[in-house]
Amino acid sequence: MQMASLSVGLSTTEMPLHTFVGAWKSSIGLCTTGQILNAGRCSPIDSASSCYGNNSVVGCLVYLDDNSCVETWDGIISNAFVTFNVNGNVVQPTSHLSNGELFESSDEQSLNPSMSLAVPKDEELFPTLTLHSQSQVMSHFCSGDVMATSRVQIGEYDKS
């Protein structure tokens, strides 16, 4: 029996259908191995607590920060802050990327489970599931499927 290989995350409509979510720019995905792919870069995390498989529930919380818009050659870009959870446990990144360079989290950053994703301002983000092996997946994208009873349980970062 082969272990399923898939990625759950967010992408824009510009991502080709044959691409693993998280491997394409403006996409992020949590792989079954427990690693987060963020715009083509693998982000180190504690994979023991973020791996998932049969009968797992993966959640994704996104906050679009319209105040973070910057003008680039590619147009206006804003930040989306994305937090994943597996079976109700928030996936905590151990390090973050800054200007393409890896650095260890400071105390304040280690409290924040969100990862930043640069998204063109005029693009929408969509829930995306990529199957890399023969697998069966049931997906639900409605409010009735939310298992968490508080914002803290789904990984909302309280800056106060």
Average the pLDDT over 107-129 and give the result: 78
The whole-angstrom separation of Cα 156 and Cα 40 is 24
Residue with tokens 């290989």, as numbered in its chain: 5
pLDDT band of residue 109 (cuts 50, 70, 90) is very low
pLDDT (tens digit per residue) in 130-145? 987 777 777 776 667 6
Lowest average pLDDT, out of 29-33, 103-107, 147-151, 152-156, goes to 103-107
* Contact by Cβ (8 Å): 11, 123: no
**pLDDT score of 66:** 81
The whole-angstrom separation of Cα 157 and Cα 155 is 6
Judge whether residue 103 has pLDDT over 60: no
**pLDDT score of 22:** 93
State the amino acid at position 66 in one-letter form. Answer: D
* Contact by Cβ (8 Å): 28, 21: yes
pLDDT (tens digit per residue) in 68-97? 888 888 788 899 999 898 888 888 876 544
Judge whether residue 128 has pLDDT over 50: yes
pLDDT band of residue 101 (cuts 50, 70, 90) is very low
Percent of residues in the chain assigned helix, strand, coil, to nearest 5: 10, 40, 50
The DSSP code for 44 is P
State the amino acid at position 137 in one-letter form. Answer: V
Handedness of CA 130, 10, 50, 137 (dihedral sign): negative
CATH of 6-151, one of 2.30.29, 2.60.120, 2.60.40, 1.20.1070: 2.60.120
All structural domains of the chain with their residue ranges? 6-151
Give phi and psi for 47, each to the nearest 5.
Answer: -65, -20
